[in-house]
Amino acid sequence: MDTQRLQEFFDSVAQVIGEANVSRQPSSGGLKGPLGSTAYGDPFASPANHDPCGAVRPKNVDEVREIVRLANQYVIALWTVSRGKNLGYGGSAPVVKGTVVLDLHRMNTIVEINEEYGYAIVEPGVSFFDLYEEIQRRRLNLWPSVPAIGWGSVLGNTTDRGFGYTPLGDHAQAQCGMEVVLPNGELLRTGMGAMEGSQMFALYKGGFGPSVDGLFFQSNLGIVTKIGIQMIPAPEAYATVEVDVPQESDLVALVSILSDLMRRSVILNSPSIANIFRIALTSRVPSVHEKLQEYMKPNSCVPYDVLDGIRVEQKWGFWRAYFSLYSQVELLPGLLQTTRRAFNAIPGATMTWREFSGKPGESITTATIKEEEIPHSGIPTLAPLEILNSRQKPGSHIDYSPLFPPSGRELYEWYLKAKQRTVDSKFDFFADFHVFPRHVIGIELIIYTDEEVKRVDELMRHVIRDAAEMGYTAYRTHLDYMDEVASHFNFNGGALKQISWIPGEFCPQANLEFGHTAN
C-alpha cells in the first residue's frame, strides 16, 4: 500500500472523527482482548499474517458514510468489525494484511427496546452485556439470546450467523430489519424499514419486493449500522436440563432424539452437546482437574482411558446435552415428562434438571435463576474464557464449525475421524456440538499454545478436508481457512461466486475487503 496515500486518508478521516479515533498503527485503540491488549488483529497465534495497518472508529452512521467515501477516494481497503471479539475466527484481524480496520464499537446506542412486541434495535457497538443490563435496568420482562461469551456485538454475532441459547437463539432468523451503508456510501434500510417513518422495522422481515437482508450476512456487501433483533418474553415456568448418555456411540441416538423433540416443538431452544473432555475441563471438581493437569500441556493430550476413569468415578456420561424448557406454568410438568420419556430409549441415560415452576401470570426474573454454565436464560457471562489458559498461559483457541444433517449418524462418522486426527496431533477434542431442528453444527474447539501453531494448522486442514470429502463444510471459519472453505461452494463451476462475494474476497470496485462483521 502507498504509505503517503494511507497517511492522507488518515489525515482526512481525522478531520471527520478526530485524531483520537484514528489508529495510524494497529497496536492500540481497540477494545481490550483476553490478555488486556488493545491492539488490532487476531489475539491468538496464527500461521498467517493478518495484521492491519491501522484503524478508524466512527461514532455514527454519517461518519461511516464519509469514511467509505474517503476510502474510495484514496483507494483504501476497509475491513469492518463491530467490537472485534470474534475469538477463534480471527478477532479484529482482516483477511488481507495491511487493510484498515473500520471499528464500529463507538456506535453503541440501543435505539429502542419494545417489551410488548419483544424486540430491540441496536447499533454495532452494543454488546450482549449492554442489552441485558439495559433490560434489567428498565425491569423489562424480556430474555435476550446471548452466545457463550457475552462481550461480543449483538449485531456482529447476528451478521456472522452466530447463535445463542434461548428459543430465538438462531440470531440470523431472529434478525428483522437492517440499516446498511453500501460500498459507494449510500444508505439503505431493508424490509419494512425501507419506508420512511415505518413502525414495522423490527416486526416484519420480508418488506415489499425482493428481500435483500441475506446479502449482508458474512459476505458483508455493505456495512451494517443497525439491526432489529427479536427476543422472547420471560416465561412463567422454566427448567434447565442436562441429559448424560454413557457410551460414545450414544451420540447418534442423543442427536436424533433432540432434533426430533425440536421439530415437535417440545424443546424450543438449541441444545448443546459436550463430550467427556469438555465435561471434565469445565467441571468444578478439584480432583478431576488434578488428573487433567498431568496432561494439559504443549505437545500432549489427555488419554481416553484417563477420561473414561474420570467418567466412571464421577458417574458422568460420555456425552452431555444441555437445553431448557420454556412454558406456561400448566405446561412444564408435561414437557418434563415427555422429555424424560424420550430419553428413556437410550440405555443408561440420565436426565437431571433445575425447575422454576413460577406462578400463573408472573414472569420469571433472571435474578431468580442467577448465572448458568450455559446461558439459556439470557444472562451473559465471560466464564468460558477460563479454558483458554488450561493448556498453558497464554493460550489460544480456534474453532472448526461444520454442518451436518440432524440424524446424528453423519456427525458421528465425521467426529470419529476428527477425534483420531486430533489425538494423533496431540490435542484434546473439545466438543461444542449444537443441535437445531434440521441441522447440527459440529463445532470442534481446539485449545493450543504459541509453539503448536504449525501443528494446529495441519490439524485444521485435515478436519476441513475430511468433512468436504463427506459432502459437508463449515458455515463460518477462521480467516486462515476462508479461501479453502469458499472453494467447497463449487456447484456448476462455482456459479454462486459469480454473483456474490464470498467471505474474505476483495472487491476492487468498492475498495472494501468483504468478510463478516466480527463480534
Domains located in the chain, CATH noted = 3-105+509-513 (3.30.43.10), 110-233 (3.30.465.10), 235-364+402-473 (3.40.462.10)
Output the CA torsion 410→397→377→205 (10° steps): -70
d(CA 11, CA 16): 9
d(CA 274, CA 430): 8
> What per-residue confidence (pLDDT) applies to 508?
37
d(CA 43, CA 86): 10
Would you call 140 exposed, middle or buried from its count of C-beta atoms within 10 A (0-12, 13-18, 19+)? Answer: buried
On whether the CB atoms of residues 251 and 435 are closer than 8 A, the answer is: no
> What per-residue confidence (pLDDT) applies to 34?
87
190 CB-near residues (< 8 Å, 6+ apart): 177, 178, 179, 180, 207, 211, 212, 213, 216
Q: Which residues pair with 80 in a beta bridge?
A: 102
Tell me how far apart the terminal alpha carbons of the chain are, to the nearest angstrom: 27
- Each residue's pLDDT expressed in tens, for the chain with a length of 519 residues: 689 999 999 999 999 999 999 999 999 999 999 888 999 999 998 888 899 999 999 999 999 999 999 999 999 999 999 999 999 999 999 999 999 999 999 999 999 999 999 999 999 999 999 999 999 999 999 999 999 999 999 999 999 999 999 999 999 999 999 999 999 999 999 999 999 999 999 999 999 999 999 999 987 799 999 999 999 999 999 999 999 999 999 999 999 999 999 999 999 999 999 999 999 999 999 999 999 999 999 999 999 999 999 999 999 999 999 999 999 999 999 999 999 999 999 999 999 999 999 899 999 998 889 888 899 999 999 999 999 999 998 899 999 999 999 999 999 999 999 999 999 999 999 999 999 999 999 999 999 999 999 999 999 999 999 999 999 999 999 999 999 999 999 999 999 887 765 554 444 333 454 444 556
User: What predicted TM-score, i.e. pTM, was given to this entire model?
Assistant: 0.94
> What per-residue confidence (pLDDT) applies to 519?
66
The one-character DSSP state at 249 is G
Query: CA nearest 123: which of 136, 137, 111?
Result: 111
Query: CA nearest 266: which of 224, 346, 324?
Result: 324
Angle at 318 between CA 313 and CA 320, to 5 degrees: 110
> What per-residue confidence (pLDDT) applies to 510?
39
d(CA 92, CA 102): 10
185 CB-near residues (< 8 Å, 6+ apart): 65, 66, 68, 69, 72
d(CA 392, CA 45): 13
The one-character DSSP state at 469 is H
Helices and strands (H and E) in the chain: how many: 15, 21
On whether the CB atoms of residues 82 and 518 are closer than 8 A, the answer is: yes
> What per-residue confidence (pLDDT) applies to 404?
98
d(CA 515, CA 317): 39
The C-alpha cell 476510502 sits at 71
> What per-residue confidence (pLDDT) applies to 23?
98
488 CB-near residues (< 8 Å, 6+ apart): 468, 473
C-alpha cell at 131: 442489552
On whether the CB atoms of residues 504 and 141 are closer than 8 A, the answer is: no
